[in-house]
A and B are shown apart, each in its own frame.
Chain A
Amino acid sequence: MTRLEILVAAAAVAFVIAIPLFGSEYLVGFVFTTFLFVGMAYGWNLISGYTAYVSFGQVSFFGIGAYTVAILVTKLSFEWPLAVLVGAVAAAALAVPLGWAMLRLRGPYFALGMLGFVQVLQMVASAWTRLTNGGEGIYLPPAGSLRALYFGSAFLVAVGIAATSSIDRSAFGLRLRSIGEDEIAAEAMGVDTTRAKLLAFVIASAFPAVAGGLYAFRLSYVDPASAFPGSYEVQVILMAIFGGAGTVFGPLVGGVLLSTLGEALWARFAELHLFLFGLIIVVVLRYMPEGLIPRLRRLAASAAASGRKAAAR
């Protein structure tokens, strides 16, 4: 890492630690929620940003994480960090057969399939009352310390950045990208697309699961509606796209910017906020589909090129 990068990283860590030490409860809560979204955006980015398999079903894993934590804590007296980890494992375990079935479907079918799967899970959560209390939901004991949850969410983001960064530079990342560029050509070049896609899908499932588990604790309550919030799917996807799908810092930048924007909007336009998010998605896709970071890079590159041209004259 360069000296500048180390400096930036240190500043970021200092900032993250400073928040709970000096910030209000409201601020800590806000950053916590932002981190959850950023973490989920990293998950989405891994599967949909690199391989171009657009998934609308990340909330399914969110809900699995939430319910796993709720059940383990209330029925088996687990400590919450362990419960959250088990939630992630449960999501990954489900992701294996789910991914195997879904990833054979091409682009739009995959999207539809994942969209539908969320509905199915919601239905299962409502119906399997012995396990989940159905519509009544499960009440969790209070989390104790918001600070602890906050650090949990910060850890999620850190893992997201680390994982994405390492994958981005690896052979695996190159394979994923080739699938996203042209899956048929990738196969003809010897890439085992089934395995690569599945691995990305499974890794990607862990992120929303952890977020769901932490969220369940924060809310102290889990029911089918709150565990599978469709609006979260929209926001997460928007954050990843806005920042730049398939980049390492896109989800972070997009997440922070949009979360702040959302908070400001929500204070003033509470009912409109989904409408506005939908509108922003559409506008971003129309005018800046590659996302903020790639667009900034391109601007920088062409500015540099015209700077060189000017200097040469």
Chain B
Amino acid sequence: MTPLLEIRDVSKSFDGLRALSHVSFAVPHGKIVSVIGPNGAGKTTLFNVIAGAIQPSSGEVLFEGMSLKGLGPSRTARLGIGRTFQIVRPFPGLTTLDNVAVAALGKERTRSAARIFAREVLELTHLAPFAQIEARNLTLARRKRLEVARAIALRPRVILLDEVMAGLNPAEVDQTIELVRTLRSLGIAAVAGIEHVMQAVQKISDFVVVLNFGQKVVEGAPAEVMRHPEVVKAYLGSRYAGAGA
């Protein structure tokens, strides 16, 4: 069966700096894939390529078998790829409800219909009490949640979650893990970019892809990948690589 999202041999260079190098993997429908790697490994660049914000230097991204080459971010969003930003970008002057309603306009025709659907999404993501508050007044944890809510309102097939747990305390991380599991129950696949919140990786992922220096190091089930010597080396340095798990 065609995978939902296929990243095929994608490379990206910026003025001679190689950010991504021949990365390939596939995301099946409704599954959660974590992309992990140390800072600078290329996760955000990968997400930007998938979302259409930048074009790959070579290789392509296929969504339900169709190439996304040349399509910009608003096109890919409407096709069904939602995303969150690592450094959150809410619409500061709009209310929480309207923030989500903007995304809902992709599939709803009128503002009122969009707001109705947005309210449902807010209920789902436990943001309903804040519906009329301007987004600039939300705490960081709630803004991150709003990012996800907005992406959900696009009614996407897959959401790219870029460091959605960074900067949160353990209780907030748990809440976010619940949120990601909700996605699965909605049938939405997810690609989660995670640098260091490792316990989350174990809990949410169906499988894991590891990036380092723009290259894919290994992919597989969470437990195996975490023990893999290359992965340990990437995070902790070679002294620990031989130590085993």
Contacts and interface: CB of A to CB of B under 8 A. Distances in A.
Direct contact of A and B (CB under 8 A): yes
Nearest to B80: A190
A181 B91 contact: yes
A188 B101 contact: no
B102 A174 contact: yes
B189 interface: no
A181 to B, nearest CB: 4
A175 B105 contact: yes
A241 to B, nearest CB: 16
A192 B105 contact: no
Contact of B106 (A177, A181, A182, A190): A190
Contacts of B73: 184, 187-188
B214 interface: no
B93 A181 contact: yes
Contact of B105 (A171, A182, A185): A171
B90 A185 contact: yes
Interface residues of B, number: 28
B218 to A, nearest CB: 30
B98 interface: yes
A174 B101 contact: yes
Main secondary structure of the interface of A (DSSP, over half): helix
A186 interface: yes
A169 B85 contact: no
Given A190-B103, A190-B154, A182 B89 contact: yes
A187 B75 CA distance: 8
Contacts of A153: none
Contact of B83 (A171, A188, A193): A188
Interface string B31-50: 00000000000000000000
Contacts of A181: 91-94
A187 B89 contact: no
Nearest to B110: A171
A173 to B, nearest CB: 8
B74 A191 contact: yes
Contacts of A220: none
A267 interface: no
Contacts of A182: 89-92
Contacts of A175: 102, 105
Interface in B115-151: 150
A189 B93 contact: no
Contacts, number: 74
B94 A190 contact: no
A177 B94 CA distance: 8
Contact of A192 (B74, B83, B92): B74
With a 10 A CB-CB cut-off, give which of A175, A177, A185, A188 has the most chain B CB atoms. A188
Contacts of A191: 74, 102, 105
B85 A190 contact: no
A185 B89 CA distance: 6
A187 B77 contact: yes
A176 B98 CA distance: 12
Contact of A188 (B51, B108, B109, B110): B51
Given A178-B102, A182-B92, A169 B111 contact: yes
A190 B78 contact: yes
Given A174-B105, A177-B94, A182-B91, A193 B74 contact: yes
Given A171-B105, A175-B105, A182-B89, A187 B94 contact: no
Given A185-B89, A186-B102, A191-B102, A171 B111 contact: yes
Contacts of B210: none
Nearest to B74: A187
Contacts of B234: none
A170 interface: yes
A171 B94 CA distance: 14
B75 to A, nearest CB: 8
A138 B73 CA distance: 49
Contacts of A171: 105, 108-111, 114
Given A175-B105, A178-B102, A188 B91 contact: no
A178 B94 contact: yes
B87 to A, nearest CB: 11
A45 B242 CA distance: 65
Contacts of B106: 189-190
B72 interface: yes
B128 to A, nearest CB: 19
A49 B80 CA distance: 31
Contacts of A190: 74, 77-78, 103, 105-106, 154
20 contacts: A171-B110, A174-B98, A174-B111, A174-B114, A178-B102, A181-B92, A182-B91, A182-B92, A184-B53, A185-B85, A185-B90, A185-B91, A187-B74, A189-B77, A189-B102, A189-B154, A190-B78, A190-B103, A191-B74, A192-B74
Given A171-B109, A184-B53, A190-B103, 5 more contacts: A171-B110, A174-B105, A182-B90, A187-B74, A189-B77
- Minimum-distance CB pairs A-B, first 9: A190-B77, A181-B91, A190-B106, A185-B89, A189-B103, A187-B74, A187-B73, A178-B102, A190-B78
